[in-house]
Every structure is written in C-alpha cells, then in structure tokens.
Amino acid sequence: MIKIIPAIDIIDGKCVRLTKGDYSQKIIYNENPIEVAKEFEAIGIKHVHLVDLDGAKAKQIINWNVLESISKETNLIIDFGGGIRSKEDLRIAFESGASKITAGSIAVKEKETVTAWLDKYGDKIILGADTINGKVSINAWEVTTELELIDYIRGYWALGIKSTIVTDISRDGVLTGPAFDLYKNIKAEIPKIELVASGGVSKIEDVDKLNEQNIEGVIIGKAIYEGRIKLEELKRFLC
C-alpha cells in the first residue's frame, strides 16, 4: 500500500504552498504548522514531509523551531528538508526531531559529503531529486543542471541510497496530475528503489493510480489544503 505523506512547507514559520517553486506565488494556508500536523496525525497519518523553504533559499536551516515543535507535540515521523548543506545543519535537524532528512542540492554539489552521511546514517538519508525536462534541478529550483535524472538516482542507489523523493517541478502546485510516465520509467530502471512521488496530485484518483503503479509513497500538498482531497478519503490508505 502506498504511503501517504502530507507536505508542510514553511516560510516565516507559517504553513504555505508555492507554485512551481516560485516564492512570489506564495499562499499562506495556516499561521500555525503545528495545528496542521496535529490534524494529519488525528486521522491516522504517520508521516509528514516538512520543508524549510526559507532554509532552501538561505542554504542553511532556518525554521528548526517548527521542526522541534512538531516533533515534541506529535508522534509523526518527520522527513525534513530545505537548507541542509553542512554537518551542522544535519546535527540541528536530527537534534530538533527529524526522523529522516532529504539531501537535495548538496547531493549534487558535495557527493563525498552525502556519501559520508550515508555511511553514518544509512536509510535516515533520503535523496531529493527535483527535475524538469529529465534534468536534475537544485538551489530551490533556480538552477537546472545537465545531470540526467535516472542516471543520477542510479548513481546514488549504487552508493547505498534506499529512498528518493522525485518532484516534477513543472507539476508542483498546479494540480495537473503526477508525472506517471516518469515514475514508471524510474521503477523500470531502478526497481528496488523506494520511490516517493511528489508534485501534481490533484484528486484521490491520482493516489489510486500511483498505488497501482507500485509507487511506495506520495507527497500531497495543495490538493489537501484546497480541499480537493479530503482527509477522510485518505483513510483507506492508512494502516
């Protein structure tokens, strides 16, 4: 069964959503992210994807206090990302309550560093692979590299990465449906990777289709916040 992972994106300590990673297209959904996290937990959700968007821009963790508060006030398993660029950021994330961290831009820029993290922390390190037109994107989606997405993931799989979150930037926050073909291709090429789909989910049928494709997890953001997917609808995926 596919794992349901709601997204909680943070700017200035508030729960927001962007469109295609554009900070100028910010919508504030709740001033208090802890309330949001508690609402998810109350219906049986076990995992959340917490992203420090300020940190992603600043290239260091900013909203660690939100992570700490959610960790202390819920039993959610928190995957934390955004701004993790150093050993100190990693320490702050884990000490503030992250169960896992997502290595995004640093995994492109400092492969040796992330490899060392993998050796030490194992499956607590998730590969964040953001993509547009089949290429890997970094720096809060401001820079598109020449790295081919599937080759990039395969390289980290060989180094020991067990799980990757793949976000199709062109679909993020626009509610047009996930990149089903992209995820199908990744699973065909790297069948044993735990693949978490991110971007574009607009209705419960999208979750059904990803589940049928044997995708291990799905991150859902705007579709929940705008009521296109009711939390009650997600209960059948929770166990």
Catalytic machinery residues: 9, 130
What is the per-residue DSSP string for 125-169?
EEEEEEEETTEEEETTTTEEEEEEHHHHHHHHHHHT--EEEEEEG
Query: Contact, 232 vs 238, CB < 8 A?
Result: no
Rounded CA separation 14/144 (Å): 28
Radius of gyration of the chain (CA): 16
Q: Which of 194, 112, 215, 196 is closest to 159 using CA atoms?
A: 112
